[in-house]
Chain A
Amino acid sequence: MTHAAATVDQMRPPYPAERGLDVYNTKLGMWVFLASEVMFFAALIGTYIILRFGAPGEWAKPGIVLNIKITAFNTFLLICSSVSMVKAYAAIQDGDPKKMRFWLLLTILGGATFVGIQVYEYIHLIEHGFVPSGVREGSELAELVAKGQLPAATMGLYGSTFFTMTGFHGFHVTCGVISMTYLYLTKALPGKYTKQSYGGIETVGLYWHFVDLVWIILFTIVYLI
């Protein structure tokens, strides 16, 4: 430990305790929570894999229904916001709250833009006739199904799994943006994070990187495969 004396109360409860994981409570709690999030997304993604594996016919080819270009940009955006988050963490570790605020704000903007683009994508998809129950009758996509460019038998499953998985991911991003904004306003702006005390940044960062990680998996298996 480099700053043993100054950081003792971050590492341990404020009273004598048996040695635990040598990780302060909020960080440990976040990791434990992320373990349960893994299982939540395992249920959603596992459902997708199992449904697609046992689907009654071909699955729609990538790139026909979904707009890959805009999502690829969105993926890049989320990766960037992950880097800016970790830069904020590195900045406050070096004791530079100004730099930390800059990077944190950039992360919030990146996350918010991601959500905005996703909402735009949803509106666009629904206009074209792609809905959670499959393909809307009389829409643009319904014509493609009629022409045989999209498989009729599996479009219902496609819609169900796509909107559930990306929707819950978007919900997690929104939660992340809200909590980062909250921390920015109540902790970062008043200068409560210092070189010795930055647990909130590290913990919300863990959550943010996890959300990024889930998107990396989702982007590949939903948009590219």
Chain B
Amino acid sequence: METAHKRPNYILIWVYLAVLTAAELALAFKLPISPNIKLLLLLFLAIWKAALVGLFFMHLKFERWNLRIMAIIPLPLAVIFILAGMSEHIW
């Protein structure tokens, strides 16, 4: 098995994830900001955390593009579905 790439610092990623989770909790319950901005920030943090897991723990950062495509293909489909379903309520 190929180990040509430099191994990422897994503990550092873990610290990132823990800090981001704490930030999410603080954002959700302590910060007095408008709910819409809160929603956007929370979604941003969640996607950031998910990206960290995908890129470093699942090694997508170090895979070739044709394997990355496998992970990416379903995402636009899911987004299209959710947007279409949501658009039923805004016309």
Alpha-carbon separation in the docked complex, A129 to B86 (Å): 30
Indicate whether A12 reaches chain B with its CB closer than 8 angstroms: no
Indicate whether A112 reaches chain B with its CB closer than 8 angstroms: no
Q: Is the CB of A79 within 8 A of B18?
A: yes
Query: Which of A2, A53, A82, A93 is within 8 Å of B53, CB to CB?
Result: A82
User: A66-96 toward B: CB 8 Å interface, digit per residue (1/0)?
Assistant: 0010001001100110110111001001000
Q: Is the CB of B21 within 8 A of A221?
A: no
Number of interface residues of B (CB under 8 A): 47
Given contacts A7-B1, A79-B21, contact A87 B10 (CB under 8 A): yes
Number of interface residues of A (CB under 8 A): 58
Indicate whether A14 reaches chain B with its CB closer than 8 angstroms: no
CB proximity of B83 to chain A, nearest CB, Å? 10
Given contacts A38-B78, A83-B11, A220-B24, contact A2 B49 (CB under 8 A): no
Q: Is the CB of B46 within 8 A of A1?
A: no
Given contacts A54-B89, A82-B57, contact A34 B71 (CB under 8 A): yes
CB contacts under 8 Å to B, within A175-225, are 196, 198-199, 202, 205-206, 209-210, 212-213, 216-217, 219-221, 224-225
CB contacts under 8 Å to A, within B18-51, are 18, 21, 24-25, 27-29, 38-39, 42-43, 45-46, 49-50
Query: Which of A50, A53, A83 is within 8 Å of B13, CB to CB?
Result: A83
User: A13-52 toward B: CB 8 Å interface, digit per residue (1/0)?
Assistant: 0000000011110001001101110110011011001100
Residues of A within 8 Å of B74, CB to CB, are 35-36, 38-39, 42
Q: Is the CB of B43 within 8 A of A220?
A: yes
Residues of B within 8 Å of A54, CB to CB, are 86, 88-89
User: B1-19 toward A: CB 8 Å interface, digit per residue (1/0)?
Assistant: 1111001001101100110
Q: Is the CB of A2 within 8 A of B45?
A: no
* Complex A-B: 19 CB contacts under 8 Å: A1-B2, A3-B1, A23-B63, A28-B70, A31-B67, A35-B70, A46-B81, A50-B86, A54-B88, A62-B28, A72-B21, A87-B10, A93-B3, A198-B1, A209-B57, A217-B50, A220-B24, A220-B42, A220-B43
- On A, residues with C-beta under 8 Å from B are 1-3, 7, 10-11, 21-24, 28, 31-32, 34-36, 38-39, 42-43, 45-46, 49-50, 53-54, 62-63, 68, 72, 75-76, 79-80, 82-83, 85-87, 90, 93, 196, 198-199, 202, 205-206, 209-210, 212-213, 216-217, 219-221, 224-225
